[in-house]
Amino acid sequence: MAEAKPTVELRKGINGLDKVVLREVKGSSVEVYLYGGQVTSWKNNHGEELLFVSSKALFKPPKAIRGGIPICFPQFGTHGTLEQHGFARNRNWSIDDNPPPFPASTSTKTFVDLILKPSEEDFKTWPHSYEFRLRVALGPGGDLMLTSRIRNTNSDARPFSFTFAYHTYLSVSDISEVRVEGLETLDYFDNLKGKEHFTEQGDAIIFESEVDKIYLSTPNKIAIIDHEKKRTFVLRKDGLPDAVVWNPWDKKAKAMPDFGDEEFKYMLCVEAAAIQKPITLRPGEEWKGRQELAAVPSSYCSGQLDPEKVLHG
Ligand code: TA6
C-alpha cells in the first residue's frame, strides 16, 4: 500500500468561506481560513481539537471569527482610527504562490503561505504599503507553527510602526484547573485597571475571575497546564516580547453575542505579542514574528506537575 503522505487541500468551510486543510500522516491537522488568515482548528494525532472556537462564532465578514488564532495587525487593542485589533483579521487573504525563500531550517513540508496586501479602503485609515506573508505549518510531530513576515513597501521614504499579536484561543477542560507557568514576577499592564502597571506574584497564574493582562518582556517559552486533561501547551515565540493573558469570565462572556455564556470555562487566550514597543520598519525592511505551539502530556512527579521539565527541558 502506498505510504500515506502529508496533504494540503483548499476546501469550502463554514458559510462557503475558503479554508486550507493541512494533514500530517500521523493524523494531526490544521485548518486556516483565507478570511482573516485565521487558523480555526489544530487537532492532535488522536483528532482532539486543541484550539477553542465559540459555538456562536459567526464566520461572516466583517466580524472576526471568535476563536482559533486571530491575527492582530497593524494594531493590538483600540486607539486612533483603526478598529479594535486592526483590520488583518477582517480581510480576505490569498494563497501566496511565490513566497520569498524560507530559511532551510523549517523542515516541515506541510504548510501553506498566505499573503495580505493593502486595499484602497485600508489605505484611508492606515496609509502605508506593506506585504504581510503568513506561513502556517504543521510539524511531523503535530506542532503548529505560525511565521509572520511583514515588509514595508512604501515607495516614498516613510517608515511605519505597528503592534501585533497572535490572539490564540486555547481549548481547556476547565479554566479553574488551568495554570500558566513562565510569567511569574513579570511586570504587566492590567486592562481591567485602566492599563495600570503591576508586578505578577511569584507563583504560577491560576484563574478565578476575569483576567486581561499584557505581560512585558516575557520569556520565549510559556507553559499552559491543563490538569484535568493532563496536557501542557508549550508556546514558544520569537520576535514577540510581550504576552497577553485573557479570560472574559461570566459577565463579559454574556456581553459578547458571538460567545456562549458558559464558554469562558473552556478557553484561555495566551497571545504572543509585540505591544509595549511598537515595531518600526523603514521602506524595504522586514520584520518576522514566530509562534510555535506544542501539546505535550503533562509530566507528574510527586503528585505535582513538573513545569520545570516543560519550560527548561
Ligand atoms: O486580548 C485580550 C483583548 O484585548 C480583550 O481586551 C478583549 O477585548 C479581547 O481582546 C477580544 O477582543 P475582540 O475584539 O476579539 O472581541
User: Residue range 276-288: average pLDDT?
Assistant: 98
Counting from 1 in the atom list of ligand 1, the atom nearest the Cα of 84 is 14
Residue at 1 is within a domain: no
The domain in which residue 74 lies consists of: 7-312
pLDDT band at 300 (very low <50, low <70, confident <90, very high): very low
pLDDT at 305: 46
- Tell me what the pLDDT averaged over the chain comes to: 93
Per the model's pLDDT, the better-predicted residue between 304 and 132 turns out to be 132
pTM for the predicted model, two decimal places: 0.94
Residue at 41 is within a domain: yes
- Three-state DSSP at 15 gives helix
pLDDT at 81: 86
313 CA from centroid of ligand 1 (Å): 32
Residue at 46 is within a domain: yes
pLDDT at 79: 83
Reported as a single tens digit per residue, the pLDDT across 8-53 is 999 999 999 999 999 999 999 999 999 999 999 999 999 999 999 9
User: Residue range 253-266: average pLDDT?
Assistant: 98
pLDDT at 312: 63
pLDDT at 171: 98
Q: How many domains does the chain have?
A: 1
Burial category of 55 from C-beta neighbours within 10 Å (exposed 0-12, middle 13-18, buried 19 and up): exposed
Which residue, judged by its Cα, is nearest atom 4 of ligand 1?
77
CATH number assigned to the domain comprising residue 65: 2.70.98.10
User: Residue range 104-116: average pLDDT?
Assistant: 82
Residue at 2 is within a domain: no
Reported as a single tens digit per residue, the pLDDT across 244-259 is 999 999 999 999 999 9
- All three cell numbers of 42, joined, read 489544530
- So which residues are the catalytic ones? 167, 271
252 CA from centroid of ligand 1 (Å): 10
Residue at 34 is within a domain: yes
- All three cell numbers of 76, joined, read 493590538
**Can you tell me the distance from the alpha carbon of 103 to that of 261, in angstroms, rounded to the nearest whole number?**
44
Picking from 290, 275, 265, 266, the residue whose alpha carbon sits closest to that of residue 244 is 275
DSSP letter for each residue of 126-159 = S---EEEEEEEEE-TTS-EEEEEEEEE--SSS--
312 CA from centroid of ligand 1 (Å): 30
Residue at 308 is within a domain: yes
pLDDT at 302: 35
Give 289's Cβ-side CA count (13 Å radius). 23
Percent of the chain whose pLDDT exceeds 70: 93
Q: Which residue has the cell 468561506?
A: 17
User: Residue range 258-284: average pLDDT?
Assistant: 98
87 CA from centroid of ligand 1 (Å): 14
Counting from 1 in the atom list of ligand 1, the atom nearest the Cα of 269 is 1
Is the CB of residue 183 less than 8 Å from the CB of residue 218? Answer: yes
pLDDT band at 137 (very low <50, low <70, confident <90, very high): very high
User: Residue range 163-182: average pLDDT?
Assistant: 98
Picking from 30, 47, 54, the residue whose alpha carbon sits closest to that of residue 110 is 30
Q: Is the beta carbon of 269 within 6 A of some atom in ligand 1? A: yes
Residue at 52 is within a domain: yes
Q: Is the beta carbon of 166 within 6 A of some atom in ligand 1? A: no
Residue at 86 is within a domain: yes
Q: Which residue has the cell 496533504?
A: 7
* C-alpha distance from residue 203 to each of 118, 198, 206, 229, 238 (Å): 44, 15, 9, 21, 24
* C-alpha distance from residue 151 to each of 125, 133, 175, 308 (Å): 18, 9, 38, 37
